[in-house]
Amino acid sequence: MMSNVGAQQAIVFIGGGNMARSLIGGLIAAGTPASAIRVAEPVAELRDTLARDFGVSVFGDAIAAVPDTGIWVFAVKPQVMRTVCESLAGHARAIRPLAVSIAAGITAEQLERWLGGGVGVVRCMPNTPALLGAGVTGLFANAQVDADGRAAAESLLSSAGKTVWIEDEAKMDAVTAVSGSGPAYVFLLAEAMEAAARTQGLPDDAARALVLQTVLGAARMLTESDEPPAELRRRVTSPGGTTQAAVETFEAGGFRELVAQAIANATERGRQLSAAND
């Protein structure tokens, strides 16, 4: 049974936390009318902020928000996903929505089972730059999702940035580890660089300005030039110069191995989130 998704249907977010806010901001900025977006969120303060900032309709619980709604975006934590889905299973059987989940680890098979079966599920992994339309999302669709369902999910997530379809769901945990969590790795590097700049005697505001513009400039070079990262790095690194001293220190400290291990651990945590919350 294919999902019941039409072009003009409302989108309901189940969970109105950090990531839902980023996606809603992206949708509104891309021209989705606020009247087409509903959010179910138990925390009154979050509901009020979303209604005020974006003009979306807000609800205290999911059951009040879902009737007649074709796309359900599950944006709750993996730990509560099963309870939330099971509470909506009766409505899912009646409405046949397209279920879009952004939860780390939770599989399409689990989501479909908890929603009572026969539901099209698109498992996605966006990231927080979605708020600026500069995100990237990996998407996997189960066999119940038809071409219209795929197009609807892709259209929803493309307002948050780029989209990449993943055909082997087992790889979604690696997507989560690389791009879902990835902004935090860049922020961690920025934090460490700022602290090091202060250690070298730079005033706080100068340290912040130098680091932020460096991250922005480097990200733009990475995305706007055709050169691979290694070549861009080579061009900064004068033989016997300052960059070489720094890069050799990173390499000697096992930087690459540390990044590989961090991403492997994040990938494994995704698998654990699935198993622990089944």
Ligand X SMILES: NC(=O)C1=CN([C@@H]2O[C@H](COP(=O)(O)OP(=O)(O)OC[C@H]3O[C@@H](n4cnc5c(N)ncnc54)[C@H](OP(=O)(O)O)[C@@H]3O)[C@@H](O)[C@H]2O)C=CC1
Ligand Y SMILES: O=C(O)[C@@H]1CCC=N1
Footprint of ligand X on this chain (CB under 6 A)? Answer: 14-20, 40-43, 46, 62, 75-78, 80, 84, 102-104, 125-128, 180
Name which of 110, 117, 40, 121 is nearest 78 in CA terms. Answer: 110
- CB-wise, 101 or 176, nearer to ligand Y? 176
Between 92 and 104, name the residue whose CB sits nearer to ligand X.
104
Closer residue to ligand X (CB): 78 or 149: 78
- Token digits of residue 171: 């790889």
- In the complex, the residues that contact ligand Y under the rule CB under 6 A are 104, 176, 180-181
Backbone phi, then psi, for 218, in 5-degree steps? -65, -40
Does 75 carry a binding-site annotation? Answer: yes
* Residue 267 binding target from ligand Y, ligand X, none, CB below 5 to 8 Å by type: none
Which are the contacts of 132, defined by CB distance < 8 A and separation ≥ 6? 26
Least Å distance between CB 41 and ligand X?
5
Q: Is 14 annotated as a binding residue?
A: yes
Has 221 been labeled as part of a binding site? Answer: no
Q: Is 76 annotated as a binding residue?
A: yes
101 and 72 Cβ atoms separated by less than 8 Å: no
- Rounded Cα distance between 114 and 142, Å, is 14
Tell the smallest beta-carbon distance from residue 19 to ligand X (Å). Answer: 3
- To ligand Y, the closest distance from the beta carbon of 175 in angstroms equals 9
- 12 CB-side CA count, 13 A: 23
Q: What is the C-alpha to C-alpha distance for residues 213 and 97, in angstroms, rounded to an integer?
A: 44
Q: Give the largest CA-CA distance in the chain.
A: 69
Across 102-230, the runs of DSSP E, i.e. the strands, are: 120-125, 135-141, 161-165
Q: Quick check: helix, strand or coil at residue 59?
A: strand
Q: Whose Cβ is closer to ligand Y: residue 214's or residue 261's?
A: 261
- Residue keyed to tokens 């059987």: 93
| Residue 41 interface partner, choices ligand X, ligand Y, none, CB cut-off 5-8 Å depending on type | ligand X
40 binds, among ligand X, ligand Y, none (CB under 5 to 8 A by kind): ligand X
Task: Check whether 2 is labelled as a binding-site residue.
Answer: no
For the bound state, the minimum distance from the C-beta of residue 129 to ligand X, rounded and expressed in Å, comes to 9
Residue 42 annotated in ligand binding: no
Binding residues: 14-19, 75-78
Binding residues for NADP(+): 14-19, 75-78
